[in-house]
Amino acid sequence: MNGFLLDGTAVPFIEGDTLMDAAQRAGHSIAHLCWDAAVGQSGACRLCTVRIDGRLAAACTTPAKAGLVVENRTPELDARRLRLTQMLFVEGNHFCPGCEKSGDCLLQAAAYELGMTGMHYDMQAPVRPVDASHPDIWLDLNRCILCKLCVRASHEIDGKGVFAMGGHGIGTHLRVNAPTGLLGDSTLAADDRAASICPVGAILPKRRGFAVPIGRRRLDLPSTDARPPEPAQDPDENH
């Protein structure tokens, strides 16, 4: 078994691993939104950007190689992640106090981890549709961050191709493969992987929502005595 260094710690990997694959398996946290072990590579969100031997690269698409020196949690890299996270918050409609309480939102978890205390940018407040046509699943495009996880899961795991990306640039959006464009007219089933893989709650089961009570949340801090990390350094504060 081979290994590389991640923030000074040796991480073993097997042939075919990306840096993210190996790090996650070994219990090391690299921030991510568009990565899931069950689907293929994407590199869409860039939150997992690390420095490898002095150059920047996405950990979720970079093959692991013996002897690589990888920097992950540095002030510079965390400042980049903070800005990306803030951009994702303002580009959509993400209101954590009135939205997420199950501890399954990776966007919210990233904001906590990076010590995000404000948006920094002006809110865009787009008006996007909420599709309630499916008997079991909600589709709220106000929360979609274009990570493509549902697209890849539907194609690669479910074998259905329910979701796809449409448009260009700022007009890029999630599309549903149905004559009407509505989720209720698609072949999506409640037990499909695409119905549960969303990291931000854009695709949610009906009649349950954010059901896990506060106090038993998957992404909570380890204990009530734990202190949140120091906020990432603002890259603009010295300019």
- Domain ranges (residues) in the chain: 2-73, 77-113, 130-205
Question: In angstroms, rounded to a whole number, what is the distance separating the alpha carbons of residues 28 and 11?
Answer: 9
* Spatial separation of the C-alpha atoms in residues 22 and 1, rounded to whole Å: 11
Which numeric CATH code is attached to 130-205? 3.30.70
- Identify the segments of the chain with pLDDT beneath 50: 223-229, 238-239
Long-range contacts of 3-9 (CB under 8 A, 24+ apart): 3/66, 4/64, 4/65, 4/66, 4/67, 4/68, 4/69, 4/70, 5/68, 5/69, 5/70, 6/70, 6/72, 7/70, 7/71, 7/72, 7/73
Interatomic CA distance for residues 119 and 143, integer angstroms: 16
Domains 2-73 and 130-205 share a fold: no
CATH, range 2-73: 3.10.20.740
Q: In this predicted structure, what is the pLDDT of residue 157? A: 98
Write down the pLDDT at residue 210.
67
Classified as helix, coil or strand, 58 is strand
* pLDDT single digits (tens) 138-193: 999 999 999 999 999 999 999 999 999 999 988 899 999 999 999 999 999 999 99
CA–CA separation, 177 and 89 (whole Å): 27
DSSP labels for 132-174? --SSSEEEETTS-----HHHHHIIIIIS---EEEES-GGG-EE
The Cα 150–Cα 34 span in angstroms is 10
Tokens read off for 195: 């119905």
* Cα 174 to Cα 177: distance, rounded to the nearest angstrom: 10
Q: Copy the structure tokens of residue 135.
A: 């008997």
pTM of this structure: 0.84
